Amino acid sequence: MSEAQTVTDSPGIAKELTAFQQNILVILAEEPRYGLAIKRELEEYYNDEVNHGRLYPNLDDLVEMGLVEKSELDKRTNQYSLTESGKDAVLDQLGWVFGKFISDDGRADELRDLIAAQQ
């Protein structure tokens, strides 16, 4: 999303992503990570094992979509980081979710409190 664009009532490319792919983007929004670190974060979130055969094809799809950048840390380890388009996809999805959730001032206050607790 360019500076001239704003978050709209539609999640943009985020609507084309699976929840699993959206979760990968959210994890990478914090900081770049290598594959096994992403896997551990997802396993903690899902409280279940995440198969390599699920993770890496999804990472490759996100790279092909231009939402994630893949770089080589060493000959055996790749690092993944969020691109600007990936950050925009996360913001678009959050904007859409928040827009649906906030139906009155009370809910807006709940969301502000949640955000403040994360800082």
Question: What residue type is 29 in one-letter code?
Answer: A
pLDDT at residue 3 tops 60? no
Assess if residue 70 is contained within a domain: yes
Tell me, what's the pLDDT at 10?
53
Residue 1 lies in a domain: no
- The answer to whether position 36 is within a domain reads yes
The widest CA-to-CA distance across the chain, in whole angstroms, is 52
Number of domain units in the chain: 1
CATH of the domain at 38: 1.10.10.10
Confirm whether 4 is domain-assigned: no
Percent of the chain with pLDDT over 70: 91
Domain residues for 54? 12-118
**Is there a domain that residue 91 lies in?**
yes
Look at residue 3 and tell me if it is in a domain.
no
pLDDT tens digits along 27-46: 999 999 999 999 999 999 99
pLDDT for residue 7: 43
Lookup: tokens for 103: 């139906």
